[in-house]
A and B are shown apart, each in its own frame.
Chain A
């Protein structure tokens, strides 16, 4: 776009930095020793990571019996965590693919770290079905026939769990390619910047010989567009399939047709919240407040509000139809078991965090109040974790046969394993911001006012405060 309305806030602030200043700001963490704040975050994350993964080893050697699951509640924290993590991943792809196709240029400062977040979140998610197998070394039977006397026995292609396997592995592959492909020019920039010989060689190999020529860029732009086109439907398909793990069943509270779009909205809701959690910290600690501006936070808060409202509408619709269906079982699950049952506390946490508290984002001054936004993003992810917990556990713990009703509570193994994935996530995110350019340098330059040689009229201020 060669013309930008004077109403648009500049995407790079800080007194119109020169292009070289932008490069400097982004690669500075890669060239300097980490500061205290970084260590302060890294050490606990790494400890949690190691502790959690050790616990997984213990669980695999001892068996699933170390979890709190029982005959009635066969899915608990494991699948809750799985869905939660997959959902978080969605924001990365939405920012990099869908916002790219919608020509939302503010995405340039946040897409790189959001994509890294996606990849890490998908890995965290994938851990749970794998350890839930009990004997994960048999996991390859997901894509190979099971040998037996009667000939090859293939997996059940009608099972949504299998669809999920394919959906997530496709998603993971495309996300990695998309992320790494976008990194190429910036890795090359670092290769050219660094004076250290070893780093030059490593980043030289990683940059695949990127030369920055016209031809390189023209191929880059074409492939980037195609990858965005391929990734966009994945934003919808992955959580759609995840929702079908539940919705294809005949369990009240699971089988409802709105699940696919409702899960996608919820995924974006929690994913954007997690992107904000990460960016509010890293823009501050890495001195990137002029690149990831308050305007970016404001925009993401609006996305959180919008997707939160969609989730609220889906909750409402479920209630409406739960009543309208006239089915006793639907009525029981929605109006009795969830709202007033033994897990009602979890239900009300979900409603407070997902529907009620995000309403403050209707107001600009709250969207731009960083401490408040930070707290809200944590609330959203607490709420979204409880949403999955409520859906999974409250639909199972009181089933059709009251004599088999049962309660479920997690053991320390489940808790520590969940903590372990959080530790893994933050450990590798912290390593990412130190070893790779956490902002797409080339893309941010294209939206810097300096690059466009444009002046922003004084009326920006006036427009903001109407």
Chain B
């Protein structure tokens, strides 16, 4: 035990702040209007935005679950003070699951060309992939992925909370194990899910790094959500034990893993550009023409260039206002990244098979709808779930390290 033993801080019981409720209601109302309007406008556009939102919030929950798992099995100490916020994020999984199921049941034909039998019948290349690219398989896998993720995250939360009562070290050890197992499953499921949900929007195109790219996008986005939620909770008088030194680590997380995102981005881009093979370059051609170029660069700016430059100085990583700014940028950036992956593909499909007349990026209330709707629901659910367990894991054996955390 350390020389300076920190007293366990006083903890205010969690009540959702009024500002959260107000924000959530506004987001839900605008989101609902946008979603309905989107579907009235063109159903392919509605479904495209639903897909973006579903994948996005699956990612927020999974990113947090991955962080929880890795910090557990690497015996991390500094993060214990925000452990309960991460746990709350992981509880959101059932809602994006419903979204993905809705897509599988009702929206598939608007998004995935391989789900249209006439196209499949005339395309020998796609027929080779029918083992993976078929509607039943897609739906079954959605259920399977979420079942795995919800089981492991349930166990991680359960053991974490069980320790509150007894302080038994065995729960820490259990989470080392569940965390490791979760991570193995996560590696496999995220590879398949990104293929199912995003890559197969352009089913002729393929890239082995695609799953890694989705993984790191989720990670950074979840880190950014964590920062915003922690700062907002502190403003409302909670999490008093989170200090500048924890901010510093949040800043480093966004800085380092944002850069890792850029590394993966570059790896994919440079290899496809260099080899210049027609079956691969189509992905980038679709995203660099017809007015997409600006978004292509904005994506890089929001997800890496700006966060990298802003977070470089030490003091900026310790400044909550700057952290919030960067987190906001990354939260928007991840949406933009998914938008840039989904929309060029689905609009191209819509033009060729649904008679739509659209060239280049679309941006309107239709695009805001599903993402803001789910964002509002996310805030409401977090408002509830943060109260499901004490905000401080008082008997975690690493708690003292987190309380005394110092750079």
Q: Which residues of A does B touch, CB under 8 Å?
A: 1-8, 101, 233, 236, 240, 244, 247-250, 255-261, 309-310, 313-314, 316-318, 320-321, 324-327, 362, 452-455, 457, 459, 462-463, 466
A454 is contacted by which of B1, B6, B75, B264 (Cβ under 8 Å)?
B1
Contact A1 B401 (CB under 8 A): yes
Query: Which A residues lie within 8 Å of B267 (CB)?
Result: 240, 257, 259-261
Query: Which B residues lie within 8 Å of A101 (CB)?
Result: 252, 256
Q: Is B309 an interface residue (CB 8 A)?
A: no
Cα A101 to Cα B252 in complex, Å, equals 10
Contact B272 A257 (CB under 8 A): yes
Cα A321 to Cα B210 in complex, Å, equals 10
A258 is contacted by which of B2, B129, B208, B403 (Cβ under 8 Å)?
B208
Closest to B192 in A: A320
**Residues of B171-211 whose CB lies within 8 A of A:** 172-173, 180, 184, 187-188, 191, 195, 204, 206-211
Query: Which B residues lie within 8 Å of A255 (CB)?
Result: 271, 275, 277
Cα A309 to Cα B184 in complex, Å, equals 8
Contact B212 A261 (CB under 8 A): yes
Contact B271 A259 (CB under 8 A): yes
A462 is contacted by which of B77, B169, B264 (Cβ under 8 Å)?
B169
Whether A258 touches B401, Cβ cut-off 8 Å, given contacts A249-B275, A454-B3, A466-B173, is: no
Q: Is B106 an interface residue (CB 8 A)?
A: no
Cα A462 to Cα B406 in complex, Å, equals 28
Query: Which B residues lie within 8 Å of A326 (CB)?
Result: 125-126, 128-129, 204
Query: Which B residues lie within 8 Å of A463 (CB)?
Result: 169, 172-173, 397
**Mask: chain B, 363-407; 1 = CB below 8 Å from A; 0 = not:** 000000000000000000000000000000000011011011110
Contact A317 B1 (CB under 8 A): no
Instruction: For the complex formed, measure the closest distance between the CB of A237 and the CB atoms of chain B, giving whole angstroms.
Output: 9
Whether A256 touches B208, Cβ cut-off 8 Å, given contacts A5-B77, A5-B400, A7-B169, is: yes
Q: Is B281 an interface residue (CB 8 A)?
A: no
Query: Which A residues lie within 8 Å of B400 (CB)?
Result: 3, 5
Cα A321 to Cα B132 in complex, Å, equals 11
Cα A362 to Cα B5 in complex, Å, equals 34
Contact B271 A3 (CB under 8 A): no
Q: Is B279 an interface residue (CB 8 A)?
A: yes
**Residues of B245-279 whose CB lies within 8 A of A:** 252, 256, 259, 263-264, 267-268, 270-272, 274-275, 277, 279
Contact A2 B207 (CB under 8 A): no
Closest to B132 in A: A324
Cα A311 to Cα B275 in complex, Å, equals 24
Cα A2 to Cα B5 in complex, Å, equals 9
Query: Which B residues lie within 8 Å of A249 (CB)?
Result: 275
Secondary structure class of chain B's binding surface, majority of residues: helix
Whether A1 touches B208, Cβ cut-off 8 Å, given contacts A247-B271, A462-B169, A463-B169, is: no
Contact B132 A3 (CB under 8 A): no
Contact A3 B404 (CB under 8 A): yes
Cα A181 to Cα B41 in complex, Å, equals 65
B398 is contacted by which of A5, A318, A455 (Cβ under 8 Å)?
A5
Q: Which of B173, B263, B271 has the most CB of A within 10 A?
A: B271
Q: Is B352 an interface residue (CB 8 A)?
A: no
Query: Which A residues lie within 8 Å of B204 (CB)?
Result: 326
Contact A1 B169 (CB under 8 A): no
11 A–B contacts, CB within 8 A, in A order: A2-B404, A3-B401, A5-B400, A255-B271, A257-B210, A314-B208, A324-B129, A324-B132, A326-B204, A453-B3, A454-B2
B208 is contacted by which of A6, A236, A250, A318 (Cβ under 8 Å)?
A318
Across the A-B interface, give the 3 residue pairs with the lowest CB-CB distance, nearest first: A3-B2, A258-B208, A3-B404
Closest to B200 in A: A324
Instruction: For the complex formed, measure the closest distance between the CB of A3 and the CB atoms of chain B, giving whole angstroms.
Output: 3
Instruction: For the complex formed, measure the closest distance between the CB of B74 and the CB atoms of chain A, giving whole angstroms.
Output: 8
Contact A261 B3 (CB under 8 A): no
Query: Which B residues lie within 8 Å of A362 (CB)?
Result: 180
Contact A7 B195 (CB under 8 A): no
Cα A26 to Cα B82 in complex, Å, equals 40
Contact B398 A2 (CB under 8 A): no
**Mask: chain B, 303-328; 1 = CB below 8 Å from A; 0 = not:** 00000000000000000000000000
**Residues of B202-256 whose CB lies within 8 A of A:** 204, 206-212, 252, 256
Query: Which B residues lie within 8 Å of A316 (CB)?
Result: 188, 191
Whether A320 touches B172, Cβ cut-off 8 Å, given contacts A257-B268, A259-B271, is: no
Query: Which A residues lie within 8 Å of B398 (CB)?
Result: 5, 7
**Mask: chain B, 72-89; 1 = CB below 8 Å from A; 0 = not:** 000101000000000000
Cα A119 to Cα B109 in complex, Å, equals 57
Contact B397 A2 (CB under 8 A): no
Instruction: For the complex formed, measure the closest distance between the CB of B152 and the CB atoms of chain A, giving whole angstroms.
Output: 16
Q: Which of B5, B206, B272, B404 has the most CB of A within 10 A?
A: B206
Query: Which B residues lie within 8 Å of A453 (CB)?
Result: 3
